[in-house]
């Protein structure tokens, strides 16, 4: 069974509580539950992590191939705009990677409108709320089943 690493970046543990006008009321637990349902239907295995720490995310990405993952689904959150380290880790592991965001980062504050991750990701889905994750997982599944 193919394995996908799902990474939720900083502050995503606060989904449903923080800035509900931007991120909605869905909780991270609800997002994860739906991702698990999709993975079961697609016959793939998921490992889901959430971290507020850049180094932990870099370590998880860097070890992904060694740990048998076929692809990565990542919402780098605020690190999207600042982390060369996460960008370099994604480039180094050379796994299909889909970047997702709940909000449309291109319609937000100017500093949020640039992704350091997208140039090394296979694709990006943003602006559809929690649906961005579900569409991203389906996309990743299609990439690894080719």
* Per annotation, catalytic residue among 8, 79, 81, 101: 101
Q: Which among 53, 55, 70 has a CA at the least distance from the CA of 6?
A: 70
Partner residues linked to 71 by β-bridges: 4
Distances from the Cα of 95 to the Cαs of 59, 65, 111, 126, in angstroms? 15, 7, 27, 20
Active site residue 23: yes
Residue 10 gets the label, from left (phi > 0), alpha (psi -120 to 50) or beta, of: beta
* Per annotation, catalytic residue among 23, 79, 133, 134: 23
Helix (H, G, I), strand (E, B) or coil at 140: helix
H-state helical runs in 10-83: 20-23, 28-42, 54-62
* Residues recognised as catalytic: 23, 101
């Amino acid at each position: 069974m193919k394995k996908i690493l799902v990474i939720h970046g900083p502050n995503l543990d606060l989904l449903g509580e923080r800035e509900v006008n931007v991120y909605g009321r869905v909780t991270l637990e609800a997002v994860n539950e739906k991702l698990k349902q999709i993975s079961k239907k697609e016959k793939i295995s998921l490992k889901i992590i959430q971290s507020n720490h850049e180094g932990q995310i870099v370590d998880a990405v860097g070890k992904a191939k060694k740990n048998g993952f076929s692809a990565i689904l990542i919402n780098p959150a605020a690190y999207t705009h600042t982390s060369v380290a996460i960008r370099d880790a994604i480039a180094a592991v050379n796994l299909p990677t889909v970047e997702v965001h709940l909000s449309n980062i291109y319609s937000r504050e100017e500093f949020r409108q640039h992704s350091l991750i997208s140039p090394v990701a296979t694709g990006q889905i943003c602006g559809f709320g929690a649906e961005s994750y579900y569409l991203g997982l389906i996309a990743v599944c299609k990439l690894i089943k080719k």
